[in-house]
């Protein structure tokens, strides 16, 4: 069967995270065949509308209180899930296929698709394993996937393997790596990076690393701070914000920087939407997740920015980097190894340049928006 003519993409978030940025690129690639339904309003809806994507919002009420580690949802959350699924299902056109972009969106979409008698696919962007998810959450979503999903599209082999290990049917799964548009990185000039440095009061000659991403303990900002304490005179640009209520962790990071004596070299920027310019201000891009990362968007962004990337060797990240050739892999949560990798790149500029060039070629070959869109299109053709 050919791919569906129209796709209703569903996401639970109103904020802009990596999954949402990928969906934005995907919706634009599908053009007028795509529509997006969000279960929360916010900056993501605004960004989609600004790009000409058709968007509707269906607030999820008490379902918003259910987290990945929730063991037993409240009656109110279950009732909200059923109501939200009904409201979403009522908007589905008979020609549309539902394609969920997150776990919570898939739960709602599976029920909405059942009620509307429409097929449902799931772009799986999470590693379904502890401690990311509670056992109850994993069992519930695997049961729904085996029952309702026509296709589960994993964003890495690591993500696919975790789905199968949790009990998901192997025949449902295919792997389509995320793609990132290189164009915004290609128009950045040295002056853009210099402007970022000046705004952050980073000396022009200071060796600098950059780490953008959501603020959460498993993303590893605390590991970077510990590494920074071991490499004198190196500065770090730490960009991002708590997206889902992790303000206490964000506050602790600043306090930790002060305790480690690196507050003057750790530059917290808050949320930034100028990632290409931000990365151009750095000599090295760091990914420091302490748990297996499903994909690792920052890794590809660093490669597109022509910067050598040091990344945690777990989850889907080893699928992105050839260690020592197009990036450097270090053990997760190992501040000493991270510090040593940063120092080695600082002290060997020709090697850093070779790694950056190889990474840029790899990203532009394998992790493009076009490749992602074609892969999703082919996967949905099975529905």
| CA angle centred on 306, ends 300 and 312, rounded to 5° | 40
Q: What is the rounded average pLDDT of the residues 193-197?
A: 97
- Across residues 182-191, what is the average pLDDT? 96
For the cut 70, the answer to whether the pLDDT of residue 2 exceeds it is no
Assigned CATH class of 6-179+368-380 = alpha beta
**Farthest-apart Cα atoms in the chain, separation:** 61
Q: Taking 80 as the threshold, does the pLDDT of residue 233 lie above it?
A: yes
Tokens 């009620």 label which residue?
Answer: 115
Cβ 255 vs Cβ 222: under 8 Å: no
Question: What's the pLDDT at 366?
Answer: 97
Give pTM, 2 decimals: 0.93
Q: What angle do CA 80, 86, 91 make, to 5 degrees?
A: 130
| Whether residue 64 has pLDDT greater than 80 | no
Confidence grade of residue 211 (pLDDT, cut at 50, 70, 90): very high
In this predicted model, what pLDDT tens digit does every residue of 276-320 receive, in sequence order?
A: 999 999 999 999 999 999 999 999 999 999 999 999 999 999 999
Hey, where are the domains in the chain?
A: 6-179+368-380, 183-366
Among 158-167, 268-277, 357-366, the range scoring the smallest mean pLDDT is 268-277
pLDDT confidence band for 105 (50 / 70 / 90):
very high
- pLDDT in the model for residue 1: 42
- Coil, helix or strand for 285? strand
Residue 243 pLDDT: 63
Mean of all residue pLDDT scores within the chain: 93
Q: What is the pLDDT of residues 358-373, one digit of tens each?
A: 999 999 999 999 999 9
Q: CATH class for domain 183-366?
A: alpha beta
CB neighbours of 155 closer than 8 A, spacing ≥ 6?
Answer: 22, 123, 124, 125, 175, 176, 177, 178, 294, 295, 316
315-357 confidence digits (pLDDT tens): 999 999 999 999 999 999 999 999 999 999 999 999 999 999 9
Beta bridge partners of 38: 11, 57
| H helical segments located in the chain | 18-30, 43-50, 75-91, 103-116, 135-148, 157-165, 183-186, 190-200, 221-228, 247-260, 275-280, 297-304, 335-347, 349-366, 369-380
The residue among 60, 294, 94 whose CA lies nearest residue 175 is: 294
How large a percentage of the chain has pLDDT more than 70? 97
Q: Is 6-179+368-380's fold the same as 183-366's?
A: yes
Write out the two tokens for 321.
């980097």
């Amino acid at each position: 069967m050919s791919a569906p003519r129209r796709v209703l993409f569903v996401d639970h978030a109103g904020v802009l995270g990596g999954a949402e940025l990928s969906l934005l690129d995907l919706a634009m690639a599908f053009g007028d065949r795509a529509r997006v339904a969000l279960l929360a309003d916010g900056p993501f809806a605004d960004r989609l509308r600004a790009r000409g994507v058709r968007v509707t919002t269906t607030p999820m009420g008490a379902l918003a209180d259910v987290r990945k580690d929730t063991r037993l949802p409240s009656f109110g959350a279950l009732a909200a899930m059923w109501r939200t699924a009904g409201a979403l299902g009522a908007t589905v056109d008979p020609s549309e296929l539902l394609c969920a972009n997150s776990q919570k969106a898939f739960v709602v979409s599976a029920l909405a698709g059942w009620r509307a008698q429409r097929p449902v696919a799931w772009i799986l962007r999470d590693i379904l394993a502890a401690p990311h998810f509670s056992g109850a959450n994993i069992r519930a979503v695997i049961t729904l996937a085996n029952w309702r999903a026509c296709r589960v599209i994993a964003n890495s082999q690591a993500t696919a393997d975790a789905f199968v290990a949790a009990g998901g049917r192997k025949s449902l799964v295919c792997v389509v790596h995320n793609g990132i548009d290189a164009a915004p990185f290609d128009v950045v000039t040295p002056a853009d990076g210099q402007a970022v440095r000046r705004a952050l009061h980073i000396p022009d000659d200071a060796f600098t690393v950059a780490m953008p991403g959501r603020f959460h303990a498993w993303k590893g900002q605390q590991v970077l701070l510990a590494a920074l304490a071991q490499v004198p005179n190196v500065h770090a640009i730490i960009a991002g914000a708590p997206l889902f209520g992790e303000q206490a962790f964000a506050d602790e990071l600043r306090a930790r920087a002060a305790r480690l004596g690196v507050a003057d070299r750790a530059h917290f920027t808050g949320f930034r939407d100028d990632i290409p310019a931000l990365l151009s201000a750095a000599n090295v891009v760091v990914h420091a997740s302490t748990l297996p990362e499903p994909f690792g968007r920052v890794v590809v962004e660093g490669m597109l920015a022509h910067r050598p990337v040091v990344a945690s060797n777990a989850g889907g990240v080893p699928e992105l980097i050839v260690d020592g050739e197009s990036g450097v892999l270090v053990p997760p949560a190992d501040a000493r190894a991270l510090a040593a990798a940063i120092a080695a790149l600082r002290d060997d500029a020709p090697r850093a340049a070779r790694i950056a060039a190889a990474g840029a070629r790899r990203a532009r070959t394998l992790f493009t928006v076009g490749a992602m869109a074609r892969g999703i299109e082919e996967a949905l053709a099975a529905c």
